[in-house]
Amino acid sequence: MNDNRAKSKSTYNKTSRLQCNAANAYLESLTIMLAILVLMLAALSRLLPHVFHGMAYNFTAVGAGLLFFGSRRPRWQAVLAVAVMALMDVFLTTKVYGYAFHVSGYLVTWAWYAAVCMIGSVLLRKVTVLRVVGGVLASATSFFLLSNFMVWASASTLGSVMYPHSVAGLVSCYAAALPFYGNDLMSTGVFAAAFFGLPVLVTRLAEIMDSMQQPTV
């Protein structure tokens, strides 16, 4: 009787290990596909303001998508995320806005894409509500500060007198951009909740179902 129980338990353990390895391989492939899908959705979401004729300015999934991609893929693959977003920059600049494309005008933006991926890698390998909120704030706020500083800094180069090179001019530039910051913060929060929350929910449900199906030995 004891020998039969031992053999049965050994067979069950081996089967469980094989199932576990297969499940891990499946989850890894699923993670890769999900990360790429989210990145593509984030890039395409940049078309939303134009689809809705400007009513959704800065309401995109870019920040959340980069955070998610960075948290799920090796850090060197931030190059892939930057490349995808850079291609969208080229498309928007030349086809939607009708301007000439100059690489020098986007170097800071591309560095920001990579930085957000790094934030996701450092902060969100382990997902908690507090970490996601921190990532959302870091992403939206850094873009707000960086992009509007560049607008202010390049104002004289472009011949604009809207934002003079003074503290008052910089403050005015940031103040004018606050509605866009609000949209970006809200959209990043909504999409981050979806991107990070749904996989956690699916994983928890799968664990519950697996535990219910395991036989008692």
Q: Inform me whether the pLDDT recorded for 16 exceeds 60.
A: no
Query: What's the domain range around 70?
Result: 2-213
Catalogue the long-range contacts made by 157-162 (C-beta closer than 8 Å, 24 or more residues apart): none
Judge whether 45 and 61 are in contact, CB under 8 Å: yes
pLDDT tens-digit map of 35-89: 999 999 999 999 877 766 555 677 899 999 999 999 999 999 999 999 999 999 9
Q: Is the dihedral of CA 139, 144, 145, 149 positive or negative?
A: positive
Burial class from Cβ neighbours inside 10 Å (0-12, 13-18, 19+) for residue 165 reads: exposed
Look up the pTM and report it: 0.83
Cα-to-chain-centroid distance, residue 177? 22
Cα dihedral 176/68/91/146 (nearest 10): 30
Structural domain count of the chain? 1
Question: What is the structure's pLDDT at 135?
Answer: 98
One-letter amino acid identity for 166? S
153 neighbors 174 (Cβ within 8 angstroms): no
Single-letter residue type at 25: A
